[in-house]
Amino acid sequence: MSTAKKEYKRVTVKSLVEMKSNGEKISMLTAYDYSMAKIVDAAKVDVILVGDSASNVMAGHETTLPITLDQMIYHASSVIRAVERALVVVDLPFGSYQSDPKEALRSAIRIMKESGAHAVKVEGGDEIKESVKRILAAGIPVMGHLGLTPQSIYKFGTYTVRAKEEEEARKLMEDATMLEKLGCFSIVLEKIPAALTKKVSEQLTIPTIGIGGGKYADGQVLVVHDLLGMTHEFNPRFLRRYMNLYEEMGNAISNYVKDVKSLDFPNDEEQY
Ligand code: KIV
């Protein structure tokens, strides 16, 4: 079993590559607000992702497509104010980097300048190569994201496992190699077969971070609301829930309602 091999006061993009070469698995979790980021950072999660999944879990949209650059900057700056140790990576939202490399750079610069984030994440391979190059050339660290890329959900049609067929697996491997060559510091592999994750992770020197990619990834990422069981309608096979906060929070809030209605709250000690 892999455990922490070195104490990191502050996790950097270099630390992640070092963790991979030391055989230490990388932990990554999402956070979108100050209070959650404080808890996640204090628990020594290595990387905090301000994911565009905020569109789903914070705003209630069906997909990640509607969230805007301004909204991502708002979430990212709230997270940054809480974090002392973790590397904070922020998703470039749909529409902010695909059409034009100059626009991609402008979007990435806004995230870095206005939120204080440490790196950005983009979805896709060859199609966004010029945008990735442009962002990297400005000295902004970039994390890739291949496999199931939720910003392309309308192209895929479903959230099922990607790259099961040889042709798509071959393209994924080529894209991963290309992203490493360009200078990306890590790549998220979402919902692909474990055997393919193994192959990609062995081929690359930069770390892979899996979500539904199996045990061979160099690190793992989950959406924090899923891990804590705050969401309860989303049940993919890859998700391990560590709590059932949906139920616990619901019970706590029902008890509060009951106490207010029955005049039990506030009592004599709870008033001035
Ligand atoms: O937005 C997000 O939360 C993500 C993770 C699922 C990797 O991209």
Q: How confident is the model at residue 157 (pLDDT cuts 50, 70, 90)?
A: very high
- Residue 1 scores a pLDDT above 90: no
| pTM of the complete model | 0.97
pLDDT(15) > 60: yes
Q: What is the pLDDT of residues 200-222, one digit of tens each?
A: 999 999 999 999 999 999 999 99
Q: How far is the CA of 165 from the centre of ligand 1 (A)?
A: 23
Query: Which of 64, 71, 111, 159 for a ligand 1 pocket mutation test, highest count of atoms within 8 Å of Cβ?
Result: 64
Q: Is the pLDDT of residue 3 over 80?
A: no
Q: What superfamily in CATH does domain 13-241 come from?
A: Phosphoenolpyruvate-binding domains (3.20.20.60)
- Residue identifier of the C-alpha nearest atom 4 of ligand 1: 51
Residue 2 has pLDDT above 70, yes or no: no
Give per-residue burial for 224-247: e unless 16+ CB within 10 Å, then b: bbbbbbbbeeeeeeeeebeeebbe
The full DSSP string for 188-242 is EEES--HHHHHHHHHH-SSPEEEESS-TTSSEEEE-HHHHTT---S---TT---S
Residue 112: is its pLDDT beyond 80? yes
Q: Quick one: pLDDT at residue 186? A: 98
Sorted by where each begins, the domain ranges of the chain are: 13-241, 245-271
Taking CA atoms only, the protein residue closest to ligand 1 atom 2 is 51
pLDDT at 252 over 80: yes
Say what the pLDDT of residue 5 is.
Answer: 78
Q: Out of 166, 190, 248, 269, which one is annotated catalytic?
A: 190
91 is in an annotated binding site: yes
pLDDT band with cut points at 50, 70 and 90 for residue 133: very high
Distance 53 CA to ligand 1 centre (A): 6
pLDDT reported for residue 143: 99
- In sign, the C-alpha dihedral spanning 2, 122, 192, 159 is positive
The 10s digit of each residue's pLDDT in 36-47 is 999 999 999 999
pLDDT value of residue 4 = 74
Average pLDDT in the chain: 97
Q: Taking residues 60-79, what's their average pLDDT?
A: 98
Tell me the average pLDDT across 168-184. Answer: 98
Ligand 1 site residues, Cβ closer than 6 angstroms: 30, 49, 51-53, 91, 188, 190, 211, 221, 223
* The length of the chain, given as a count of residues: 272
CA distance linking residue 70 with residue 166, whole number of Å: 39
pLDDT at res. 211: 98
- Which residue matches tokens 């993009």? 13
**Substitution candidate for ligand 1 out of 223, 226, 227 with most atoms within 8 A of CB:** 223
115 is in an annotated binding site: no
Residue 269 annotated in active site? no
Index of the ligand 1 atom closest to the CA of residue 150? 8
Mean pLDDT of 224-228: 98
What pLDDT score does 9 carry?
97
